[in-house]
Chains A and B, each alone.
Chain A
């Protein structure tokens, strides 16, 4: 469990700190934004099913054109009942993590985001089983489990997509895959459903979120576009002295802006 947690943190640190050295020529202005998102599927679900109220929102701050830190918080009020038991869970959660935009700056233009989010979440909730019944050879035993406050923590991977459809307003979705690290409930009374995670009876849970996001630009940066340049020929010797390679194609550096597709230049 702790090994998984340590691995996840290491991955976050690595992805945050890693830098690719490029030789820059052209730049593109990208607005960095503070994004305030509201999850909309929760209220819609509540409109059709009054037993699940999930309210969730986030604030993220762009650190650069690729990365943004995200703080996510939410509230859940969950009621479930079937023929042999009923279950209540009420509580809140927070998630802290980082979003990585996999689109190149000239594609994203500060308006589109297609990438992956990694986050760590902690949930505090109060759960109760008002009644459950068990039928066996000796008859039916009816019992209950008293309200109890517990916590759980988990990690989440969430690929998704967002697009700015109006000025300062984006919509998007993300698929979430969450892995439970630990819950204080103990293994006998795992939470059936808990805030920020979902189905707690399984180690892994999945879900989909839909967001409306208000984007507030706070800074504009100039992002260096990486040039598309063929591999340096002196290292592998597949170019002759007049600047053509073995295939006879031109190998000049400083290609036009149409070919700026993020190839890393080797010096």
Chain B
């Protein structure tokens, strides 16, 4: 009996298992931001077509999201989780427009390491019809996943 089950088993086996189980990383490696993923489409051919130049910034916000950036596909647009709408100034190939998003925000747990973020439910997207010819909402739920939310036709 002693041969098979010794007291040392009581200590050694759980210590090995504890070492195997306790390798939990403590850092956040996931995407924590919920962006509106906007794909750009040519309004004539109705095909995916990145603009030659894209400038994007929030109305009343000095900081640029894109500044004459080339080959942006898709554009990642951050919504303001403190409000239920926000407006962006967009310049596509030199032509300007504004895009207003109306939405509801709700908290979402990413992971223990990363904490909480806000997801959004998109209600309406408004634009001035200058540079942008049309916007199609393909997925109303804005998450941190890499899923297209809107298509911008220009």
Q: Which residue of A has the minimal Cβ distance to B6? A: A163
Q: Which of A132, A139, A163 has a CB less than 8 Å from the CB of B10? A: A163
Q: Which residues of A have CB within 8 Å of B86?
A: 138
Q: Are B10 and A161 closer than 8 Å at their CB atoms?
A: yes
Q: Which residue of B has the minimal Cβ distance to A172? A: B10
Q: Are B82 and A141 closer than 8 Å at their CB atoms?
A: yes
B133 close to chain A: CB less than 8 A? no
Q: How far is the CB of B16 from chain A (nearest CB, A)?
A: 10
Q: Which residues of B have CB within 8 Å of A145?
A: 107, 116
Q: Which of B1, B17, B63, B115 has a CB less than 8 Å from the CB of A85? A: B115
Q: Which of B14, B112, B115, B118 has a CB less than 8 Å from the CB of A173? A: B14
Q: Are B109 and A201 closer than 8 Å at their CB atoms?
A: yes
Residue of A109, A139, A141, A161 most packed against chain B (CB within 10 A): A141
Q: Which residue of A has the minimal Cβ distance to B63? A: A137
Q: Are A199 and B112 closer than 8 Å at their CB atoms?
A: yes
Q: How far is the CA of A180 from the CA of B18 in the complex (A)?
A: 21
Interface residues of A in 152-179 (CB under 8 A from B): 161, 163, 165, 171-173, 175
Q: Which residue of B has the minimal Cβ distance to A209? A: B14
Q: How far is the CB of A186 from chain B (nearest CB, A)?
A: 10
Q: How far is the CA of A208 from the CA of B18 in the complex (A)?
A: 7
Q: Which residue of A has the minimal Cβ distance to B26? A: A82
Interface residues on B, range: 20 to 34
Q: Which residues of A have CB within 8 Å of B115?
A: 82, 84-85, 132
Residue of A84, A134, A193 most packed against chain B (CB within 10 A): A134
Total A-B contacts with CB atoms under 8 angstroms apart? 87
Q: Which of B1, B18, B80, B111 has a CB less than 8 Å from the CB of A109? A: B1
Q: Which residues of A have CB within 8 Å of B13?
A: 161, 173
**Chain A 123-139, CB within 8 Å of chain B: the 1/0 string?**
00000010010101111
Q: Which residue of A has the minimal Cβ distance to B113? A: A82
Q: Which of B1, B107, B112 has a CB less than 8 Å from the CB of A107? A: B1
Q: How far is the CB of A115 from chain B (nearest CB, A)?
A: 12
Q: How far is the CA of A161 from the CA of B16 in the complex (A)?
A: 14
Interface residues of A in 192-210 (CB under 8 A from B): 192-193, 199, 201, 206-208, 210
Q: Are B112 and A132 closer than 8 Å at their CB atoms?
A: no
Q: How far is the CA of A128 from the CA of B58 in the complex (A)?
A: 33
A44 close to chain B: CB less than 8 A? no
Residue of A137, A138, A165, A190 most packed against chain B (CB within 10 A): A137
Q: Which residues of B have CB within 8 Å of A210?
A: 14
Q: Are B106 and A138 closer than 8 Å at their CB atoms?
A: no
A100 close to chain B: CB less than 8 A? no
B residues in contact (CB < 8 Å) with A: 1, 4-5, 7, 9-10, 13-14, 17-18, 21, 33, 58, 61, 63, 65, 78-82, 86, 106-109, 111-112, 115-119
Those 6 A-B pairs whose CB atoms lie nearest each other, nearest first: A138-B80, A137-B78, A85-B115, A132-B116, A188-B108, A84-B115
Could you list 18 examples of A-B contacts with CB < 8 Å? A107-B5, A112-B1, A132-B115, A134-B118, A137-B63, A138-B82, A141-B81, A141-B82, A161-B9, A163-B7, A163-B10, A173-B14, A188-B109, A189-B107, A192-B109, A192-B112, A201-B111, A208-B17
